[in-house]
Amino acid sequence: MNHPRTNTPTIGVVILTMGDRDKELQVLLDSVAAQQGDPATVVVLGQGVTLPPLPAGVAAVELPQNLGIPEGRNAGVRWLREHGGVDIVLVLDDDGLLPQTDTLHLVREAFTTNPRLGIVGFRIADEEGASQRRHVPRLGGTAPLRSGPVTTFLGGAHAIRMSVIDEVGDFPAQFFYAHEETDFAWRALDAGWDIDYRADMVLTHPRTPASRHAVYYRNTARNRVWLAKRHLPAILVPVYLASWATYTLAQRPPAAGLKAWWAGFFEGVQVPCPPRRPMRWRTVWRMTRLGRPPVI
């Protein structure tokens, strides 16, 4: 559904679903509809599934198959472009909800205040208001209640300026699942855009382990290798991959998980994932100053 243009940035909301969270999806859509200010354009994309009845004004797109998370998001962006376009793309997990009614207002305010702000990552909190370490985009997952500039963002709840997508391109469809946000974030940083983590923009989400996804270990390893091969200066590629392998082994994953991880690692080494566009050294230095050099 298109809305008339106003002086405030327009927002489009993209939600992917596998068709197994109908109740949660409805709660999420209710929380989006309850937001203050101009209404957002909302599109729900079914990943190879038939969508349930949706509220009036919510667009339904049934994709022919599960395209994976990054390409599903790309399809949502394409739909928004084809139906009038928006200034900001907001991506939300289908089993989350926005507990505050001023979140879209805060998003508009953030992008209006800082013209170089390209991406905003939300704080993801469980039912008790706590954030898992893996949901805080800083080394060590520290200080979940502290907002500030970061080098990546969370896939489950984030907002991107549409002009950033126009400039740096889509999410990498080849990744299917895992690290597609970091791939996009590195390209945005290299193009000079800012990325902020905002603790006051909250998505409530059930506490779940990342390893619940069947392809978690394999895709995590493969996509880390692809990430390095695509974006790091050549001298940093082996350093980055060695530090990642060391970290993984230190976590002592289960034997089946470790076997899948190594299979994914070698797949990433052997299979190309173009294009290769190494980031500039000034971007490496910028990431280092932000507390996360691209070797960790």
| Sequence ranges of the domains in the chain | 11-208, 213-289
User: d(Cα 109, Cα 96) in Å, to the nearest integer?
Assistant: 22
Mean pLDDT score across all residues of the chain: 95
Lowest mean pLDDT of 6-10, 174-178, 196-200, 225-229, name the range. Answer: 6-10
What band does 214 get if pLDDT is binned at 50, 70 and 90? low
- Mean pLDDT computed over 166-191: 98
Task: Using alpha carbons, list the distances in angstroms from residue 219 to 173, 267, 278, 296.
Answer: 13, 9, 22, 18
39-48, 161-170, 253-262, 265-274, range with the lowest pLDDT: 253-262
- Confidence check: pLDDT of 159 > 50: yes
Per-residue pLDDT tens over the stretch 46-97: 999 999 999 999 999 999 999 999 999 999 999 999 998 999 999 999 999 9
CA atoms of 250 and 11, how far apart (whole Å)? 42
CA distance 74 to 171: 6
Query: Residue 173 carries which DSSP code?
Result: G
Strand-by-strand arrangement of the 117-125 sheet: 58-63, 41-47, 11-17, 88-92, 157-161, 117-125, 194-204, 148-149
pLDDT at 212 over 70: no
Which of the 8 DSSP states describes residue 97? B
Residue 153 phi, psi dihedral angles, 5° rounding: -150, 170
Mean pLDDT for 260-274 is: 96
Both structure tokens of 184 = 């996009």
Chain centroid to Cα 86, Å, comes to 18
pLDDT score for 4: 46
Rounded average pLDDT over 259-272: 96
Closest residue by Cα to residue 56 from 78, 36, 33: 33
Check whether domain 11-208 has CATH 2.40.30.170, yes or no:
no
Q: Is pLDDT above 50 for 1?
A: no
Q: Where are the alpha helices (DSSP H) in 83-179?
A: 103-113, 162-168
Determine the pLDDT at residue 62. Answer: 98
Residue-wise pLDDT for 2-25, tens only, equals 444 457 999 999 999 999 999 999
pTM as predicted: 0.95
Over residues 164-178, the mean pLDDT reads 98
Across 124-131, average pLDDT: 94
